[in-house]
Amino acid sequence: MYIPHTDIERQQMLDVIGVKTLEELFRDVPEEYRNPNLNLPVGQSEMEVLDQMRLLAEANNSTDDLISFLGAGAYDHFVPSAVDMLLKRGDFFSAYTPYQPEISQGTLQAIFEYQTLISNLTGMEISNASHYDGATAAAETAITAYYHFKKKRKTVVVSPFIHPDYIQVLRTYLQAIEDIQILIPDVNSPDEFLDVTPNYLNDDTALLLFQYPDFLGNLYDYTTLIEQLHQAGGLAASIVYPQVLGIMKSPAAMDADFIVGEAQSLGLPLNFGGPYIGFFTTKKEFIRKISGRIVGETIDADNKRGYVLTLTAREQHIRREKATSNICTNQGLNALAVAIYLSLLGKTGMNDVSTICYQKAHYLATQISSLKGFSIVNKAPFFNEFVIECPLDAADVNKRMAGIGILAGFDLSQFDVNRKNQLLIAVTEKSTRESMDYYVNALQEVLNA
């Protein structure tokens, strides 16, 4: 399929090349390995493939079939119709990286606007064109800090209350840089984090990485901690769930140096975990130290405004082994989706969606806490994700709830073995009062059973 050559054309082309058969074009391939048998099916038509793909899709239970209160790093927000319709434009999705800026102004300006929107949302001075996801963006803050201090500061202090996948990715990324150590403060509960962590900060601290809200949903003011960190000479990186920034203040106001995170919740469907998009914002002073593509404004030969990829001397194709990162891509189409989402919702819409998420989550939390045997664990304020303590194993609760069509939440024993009875629940604007009341009744039944 998709190969347009006719027999006549093929023959004409072979004649011009000066060979008799297609086979001759592969004479450099060692004969003993050439033309292997591929134990694979033969090609099929669109109709047949569509049927098979539909069968696979129907073999799942999606959020069409289940009521979901699962969060833990991926959130079921509503994606406005206009977002996907614009992404389907072939001039966006079938274009390449804008290396020829004169014919890529659409892509370049869209990324430039994405950079602006994300900077304004986070309150930071600049943004790059994005990383693969929130976890890799977080890992890149550690690498950036390490090289910023010219390898003289070798400790990365990491909050134990960030998403567990993010800590794993950080370990993967740093494993071959043998003089870096990852230090996780010994803290018993999130409420103690602000008090205990300063003891771990010293003149070897390159970076402190924490999350807002933290993995268990808690909101804290990190201003004092960041002050102490800066006094010790290190840099602060905060992972942020972007929806929270619709109503809550950003760690930029607490003087964070980097704000990164997962922007899936800004216009991308759940998609079983990817592709997502990691946003990366920072202060102007670090602009030459960060990795990833960056779009800048300039003028053309006629003095007309235009956009180009800039500061490319940082990147792998120029620095090669001296590049601090090998990243060669940005999540292009996904950055466009985020730009469209933020433009559509705008000032009012982002405020609305955040407020709605907050209020619905607090409604559900209140209803659950009125059930005998269940309680809310969070002592700090929370946004749209919170932890409940159950009278039985969270795994058990999940299983029973799944049986009646509800994804009850994230089983926190997978995060900390001491939290076997705890469930992390996320609420978005898609949860209705009905579905939340249904959830509460279901919990009641689980208890009675």
**204 near another protein, judged by CB under 8 A:** no
How far apart (Å, rounded) are the C-alpha atoms in residues 447 and 309?
58
Q: Which of 205, 226, 242, 315 binds another protein (CB under 8 A)?
A: 315
Q: Which of 287, 376, 392, 447 binds another protein (CB under 8 A)?
A: 287
Provide the residue type at 321 as one letter.
E
How far apart (Å, rounded) are the C-alpha atoms in residues 298 and 319?
23
* Backbone region of residue 303 per phi and psi (left: phi > 0; alpha: psi in -120 to 50; beta: other values): left
Q: Residues 294-299: contacts with CB within 8 Å, 24+ apart?
A: 294/115, 294/126, 294/128, 294/129, 295/98, 295/108, 295/111, 295/112, 295/115, 295/129, 296/112, 297/112
Give Cα separations from 441 to 43, 152, 229, 395, 422 (angstroms). Answer: 51, 57, 46, 18, 18
Q: How far is the CB of 445 from another protein (least distance, A)?
A: 19
How far apart (Å, rounded) are the C-alpha atoms in residues 118 and 129?
10
Nearer to another protein, 166 or 200 (CB): 166
Q: Which of 149, 154, 165, 447 binds another protein (CB under 8 A)?
A: 165
Q: State the CB neighbour count (10 A cutoff) for residue 110.
A: 23
Nearer to another protein, 187 or 247 (CB): 247
Nearer to another protein, 188 or 432 (CB): 432
Q: How far is the CB of 229 from another protein (least distance, A)?
A: 20
Candidates 153-161, 228-236, 316-324, 368-376: pick the segment binding another protein (CB under 8 A): 316-324
Q: Which of 29, 196, 202, 445 binds another protein (CB under 8 A)?
A: 29
Site for another protein, residues 294 to 313, rule: CB under 8 A: 294-302, 304-308, 310-313
Provide the residue type at 369 as one letter.
S
Q: Which of 20, 152, 175, 186 binds another protein (CB under 8 A)?
A: 175
Q: Which of 28, 370, 372, 417 binds another protein (CB under 8 A)?
A: 28
**288 near another protein, judged by CB under 8 A:** yes
Nearer to another protein, 76 or 257 (CB): 76
Nearer to another protein, 207 or 293 (CB): 293
Read off the tokens for 19: 């060979």
How far apart (Å, rounded) are the C-alpha atoms in residues 211 and 240?
6
Site for another protein, residues 361 to 400, rule: CB under 8 A: 362-363, 366, 381, 398-399
**433 near another protein, judged by CB under 8 A:** yes
**49 near another protein, judged by CB under 8 A:** yes
The DSSP secondary-structure symbol of 358 reads H
What letters, b where the CB count within 10 A reaches 16 and e where it falls short, cover 406-431?
bbbbbbbbebeeebbbbbbbbbbbbb
Helix axes 433-448, 332-369, angle to 10 degrees: 50
Look-up of token digits 């010293």: 202
Nearer to another protein, 228 or 312 (CB): 312
Q: How far is the CB of 60 from another protein (least distance, A)?
A: 4
Q: DSSP strand E in 110-201: where?
A: 126-127, 155-158, 181-183
Of residues 218, 254, 216, the one with CA closest to residue 238: 254
- Say if CB 347 and CB 126 are below 8 A apart: no
How far apart (Å, rounded) are the C-alpha atoms in residues 113 and 340?
9
Site for another protein, residues 207 to 236, rule: CB under 8 A: 219, 221
**59 near another protein, judged by CB under 8 A:** yes
Q: Which of 202, 224, 355, 369 binds another protein (CB under 8 A)?
A: 355
Of residues 281, 278, 270, the one with CA closest to residue 329: 278
Q: How far is the CB of 395 from another protein (least distance, A)?
A: 10
**277 near another protein, judged by CB under 8 A:** yes
Q: How far is the CB of 421 from another protein (least distance, A)?
A: 18
Q: Which of 207, 216, 336, 423 binds another protein (CB under 8 A)?
A: 336
Read off the tokens for 309: 């990829």
In DSSP terms, which residues pair with 238 in a beta bridge?
A: 210, 259
* Backbone region of residue 405 per phi and psi (left: phi > 0; alpha: psi in -120 to 50; beta: other values): left
Q: How far is the CB of 382 from another protein (least distance, A)?
A: 9
**319 near another protein, judged by CB under 8 A:** yes
Site for another protein, residues 96 to 115, rule: CB under 8 A: 96-107, 109-113, 115
The residue count of the chain comes to: 449
Candidates 125-133, 185-193, 199-207, 230-238: pick the segment binding another protein (CB under 8 A): 125-133
Q: Which of 183, 247, 392, 447 binds another protein (CB under 8 A)?
A: 247
Nearer to another protein, 67 or 201 (CB): 67
Q: How far is the CB of 240 from another protein (least distance, A)?
A: 12
Q: Which of 158, 240, 266, 293 binds another protein (CB under 8 A)?
A: 293
Q: Binding residues for another protein, how many (CB under 8 A)?
A: 212
**Binding track over 73-92 against another protein, x by CB under 8 A:** xx-x-x-x-x-xxx-xxxxx
